[in-house]
């Protein structure tokens, strides 16, 4: 699997807006054929920091996601709400085996 | 859900040993009643860096994990293989809803 972990630091006044826009993006992304997971997490120690845990079957599936209307809308919508630029780190999965991901 | 994201930077000569020890810990952790996921990821840009994505039903379930024989064995085994101290960040899940995690 191809796993992108995106760290997002949101300005305090836009946290609720960010959650709303990100849930819409997450739900739409889960309907992409190449998407396996889209978990949205909020840091315990700093609730203005989020982690998006995005799992795709391949790098091509991630590239396709970045062309979708819902991703582009999310990207534009949240752009002004970041306290600092968001950072995505790309990984290959080691465990579990590909057939066991859900 | 209670999600702990652990970033690990391993010394190059111990990467294979780290993977072996971590897979054993991951498989045992998945058998804990309070554990929901234990994904092991390897960074695309720097294959000596790993992310452990650990999902528990509650903070108490994570605390119970930290008392298990397999965790304590992993912790001792890998201690000398870190290029820098590992860092765990704790989160609450926002999406999906708790009943939908798998």
Confidence of residue A50 (pLDDT cuts 50, 70, 90): very high
Q: Give the integer Cα–Cα distance in Å for B76 and B55.
A: 22
Average pLDDT of every residue of chain B = 97
Interface contact flag, B93 A23, Cβ < 8 Å: no
Any A CB within 8 A of B8 CB: no
Percent of chain B with pLDDT over 70: 100
Tokens of A52: 């998006």
> How many CB atoms within 10 Å of residue A8?
21
Please give the pLDDT value at position A31: 98
| pLDDT of amino acid B13 | 97
* pLDDT value of position A49: 98
Structural domains of chain A sorted by starting position, each given as residue range(s) with its CATH number in brackets = 2-93 (3.30.70.100)
Over residues B27-46, the pLDDT tens digits come to 999 999 999 999 999 999 99
Q: For residue B102, is pLDDT > 90?
A: no
Placement of tokens 């903070």 in the chain: B59
Mean pLDDT in residue range A51-67: 98
Contact B51/A91, CB-based, under 8 Å?
A: yes
Rounded alpha-carbon distances, angstroms, from residue B86 to A57, B8, B50? 28, 5, 10
* A52 burial type by CB count under 10 A (0-12 exposed, 13-18 middle, 19+ buried): buried
* B-interface mutation test, from A59, A91, A101, most B Cβ less than 10 A away: A91
Interchain contact, B41 vs A92, CB within 8 Å: yes
Structure tokens at B27: 């498989």
Distance from C-alpha of A34 to C-alpha of A60, rounded to nearest angstrom:
9
pLDDT, position A102: 84
């Amino acid at each position: 699997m191809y796993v992108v972990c995106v760290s997002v630091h949101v300005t305090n006044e836009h946290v609720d807006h960010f959650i709303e826009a990100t849930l819409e993006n997450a739900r739409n992304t889960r309907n992409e054929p190449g998407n396996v997971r889209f978990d949205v997490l909020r840091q315990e120690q700093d609730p203005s920091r989020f982690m998006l845990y995005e799992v795709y079957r391949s790098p091509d599936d991630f590239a396709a996601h970045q062309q979708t209307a819902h991703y582009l809308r999310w990207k534009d919508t949240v752009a002004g709400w970041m306290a600092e630029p968001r950072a995505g780190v790309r990984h290959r999965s080691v465990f579990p085996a590909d057939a066991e991901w859900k």
